[in-house]
Amino acid sequence: MSSSSISTFSANTGATVLAAALRQLQVEVIFGIVGIPVVEVAEACIAEGIRFIGCRNEQTASYAAGAYGYLTGKPGVCLVVSGPGVVHALSGLYNAQANCWPMILIGGSCESSQVGRGAFQELDQVAACRPYSKYSGRPLTIEAIPSVLDQAYRNSVSGRPGPTYVDFPADLIRGLASNNSSPLSSFKKPNSQAAHDSIQRAAEILLSAKRPLIIVGKGVGLAHAEDELAELVALTGAPFLPSPMAKGMISDLHPLCAGASRSQALQHADVVLVVGARLNWMFQFGRRFNVNAKLLVADIEPEEINRNRAAEVALVGDLKSTLKQLIQMLSLRKKEIINPTPFVNMLADGSKRNAERTRLQIQQSGSPMNHYMAISTIQDRLNASLPSGDYVLVSEGARTMDVTRVLVPSQLPRRRLDAGTLGAMGVGMGYAIAAQLAYPSKRVVAIFGDSAFGFSAMDVETAIRYKLPLIIIVINNGGIYHGLDDLSTLDPSKYPSFALSPNTNYELLSKIAPGSTSGYSVRSPAELNTALEKALRHEASLSIINVHIDHRPASQGLYWMDSSSTSGKL
């Protein structure tokens, strides 16, 4: 929102007042699906110069809005119709809540006078959205629309970011304001710092650490604190372990990245500094840590500090400011920092052993390819064509996402999106569309499992319609986790629950709508390399690459759901 004062709105329809308020809040893109009663809202927004992205499913639209909020730092906005439209969009609201992404969901609703009378698509949407949002409300008058939207915006970005919901009855959307709306005040996001004594105590513990470890969460990305994180790592020499979407806050290729020796790092660290991450299922609730390790937790949210494992020191505040405080305190006593080289060398040896195991997985692939060979080929081509890593990677699926996390490194912050904290399937096309709009000059590469792609595949048409040059790669093994050679010999009533139609021609979706698009069906590393090279060269067009791989079950399970494994990598 602009730091300058915001003028009042002239009396107008509720739809135009709403659109003008969004424009004053510097909203540039809205995702959604129109219908009664929100068509007028979308058209008013377009008239205000806001780009409306009409999706094919409210889930895709809401997933896109959440991802857009994360990538841009400003709330992504989703506009949907009443009743079922809002219910469908709850998926994205819940996903944004779990991932702590700023988002505003706007839902149309029945006329105020018809509430409780069995109105068309009547639903208490404010109550339905409240458990999944930081704020859920509705303006009572047209004049109140700007202030309610402003409240939703402030709640979405302040403190720990998250989604909000605003309900607009049809009579407010179409009605006329009787007088001017109240002016909106300028807004600057509050910035809090950690307590000085906590910073001092954390510095003391870090200075005494022989095996320090920094766990990095995507909260660093939300706070745009990657520069401070890099300075802290350089100052302490401590290895760092990123969560999946924190990959790239510091390059995965950095010598202190412990992603490939995750278990060793957690088991042997004597001090663990958790920065913008939660000790949830992704980190096995803190159970894998050295039981004697001292835990330091830096987070914007006080309630997060002692979840699942008690912290020795709580650093509550904005991460960017908190890291600056800690760096300043450590810099004053730089000579006292213990050299962690033996610990770093141990982790480097572990990374080499894991890399060798991964290399063998790739080498063992025959014909057809397995996941490792297919995704390794993709990584080799991306590295050859985009060596700086300045592209956006979207990854969705079970084993597809799992192997992509291992094989495809990230080198830059906020360039990676996957199923995230919620582990939701169906997010991929919404994420890819949002990423291309957030980074219009970058290539967006979306790697899907075939089952995951099916959740949102129709939104390929959305991407084509808006001329978004996505590169969509479908890793096709004919099923959920795995498939079968041939279903035709079985009675349909006996089909396994996991099996999909083998040899489905997903690449033909590139021709679902008019446009300059390309589709490829590949079965070997050479064909995959050639197809991806062509797709990367065609910078203005969408491409779909259908990668047929071995349908048989993989030899290893999914590390992120294996509670007994000690060799998994995030």
Work out the pLDDT band at 336, boundaries 50, 70, 90.
very high
Residue 115 is predicted with a pLDDT of 77
Average pLDDT over residues 467-485: 93
Residue 185 is predicted with a pLDDT of 64
Residue 1 is predicted with a pLDDT of 43
Residue 554 clears pLDDT 80, i.e. is over it? no
Q: Which phi-psi region, left, alpha or beta, contains residue 319 (left: φ > 0; alpha: ψ -120 to 50)?
A: alpha
**Of the candidates 405, 525, 412, 391, which has an alpha carbon nearest to the alpha carbon of residue 471?**
391
Concatenate the DSSP letters of all residues of 26-41 into one string.
Answer: T--EEEE---TTTHHH
Length of the chain: 570
Average pLDDT over residues 535-555: 90
Percentage of residues of the chain with pLDDT beyond 90: 75
Indicate the range of 40-49, 260-269, 358-367, 448-457 predicted with least confidence.
Answer: 358-367
Do residues 167 and 9 lie in contact, with contact meaning Cβ atoms separated by under 8 Å? Answer: no
Interhelix angle 14-24/145-157, nearest 10 degrees:
40
Indicate the range of 183-192, 320-329, 349-358, 522-531 predicted with least confidence.
Answer: 183-192
Residue 556 clears pLDDT 60, i.e. is over it? no
Average pLDDT over residues 248-276: 95
What is the residue type of 326? L
Computed from CA positions of residues 415, 59, 499, 527, in that sequence, does the dihedral angle turn out positive or negative? negative
Percentage of residues of the chain with pLDDT beyond 70: 94
Residue 47 clears pLDDT 50, i.e. is over it? yes
Q: CB under 8 Å to 55, separation ≥6 — which residues? A: 31, 32, 33, 61, 64, 430, 433, 459, 462
Average pLDDT over residues 124-136: 96
| 280-289 tens-digit pLDDT | 988 888 888 9
Interhelix angle 84-99/58-72, nearest 10 degrees:
30
Indicate the range of 68-77, 105-114, 163-172 predicted with least confidence.
Answer: 105-114
Average pLDDT over residues 7-12: 49
Give the residue, 569 or 1, on which the prediction is more confident. Answer: 1
Q: CB under 8 Å to 157, separation ≥6 — which residues? A: 73, 74, 75, 102, 189
Give the residue, 67 or 359, on which the prediction is more confident. Answer: 67
| 477-489 tens-digit pLDDT | 999 988 887 787 8
Taking the C-alpha atoms of residue 347 and residue 342, their distance in angstroms, rounded to an integer, is 9
Residue 558 clears pLDDT 90, i.e. is over it? no
Answering whether pTM is above 0.85, one says yes
Q: How many CB atoms lie within 10 A of CB 284?
A: 16
Work out the pLDDT band at 566, boundaries 50, 70, 90.
very low
Give the residue, 490 or 216, on which the prediction is more confident. Answer: 216
Average pLDDT over residues 276-298: 91
Residue 2 clears pLDDT 50, i.e. is over it? no
Work out the pLDDT band at 183, boundaries 50, 70, 90.
low
Residue 6 is predicted with a pLDDT of 36
Give the residue, 391 or 492, on which the prediction is more confident. Answer: 391
Q: Which residue, chain included where needed, has tokens 């089952």? A: 451
Q: CB under 8 Å to 526, separation ≥6 — which residues? A: none
Average pLDDT over residues 454-479: 96
Residue 399 clears pLDDT 70, i.e. is over it? yes
Work out the pLDDT band at 201, boundaries 50, 70, 90.
very high
| 361-390 tens-digit pLDDT | 887 777 889 999 999 999 999 999 999 999
Residue 7 clears pLDDT 50, i.e. is over it? no
Work out the pLDDT band at 332, boundaries 50, 70, 90.
very high
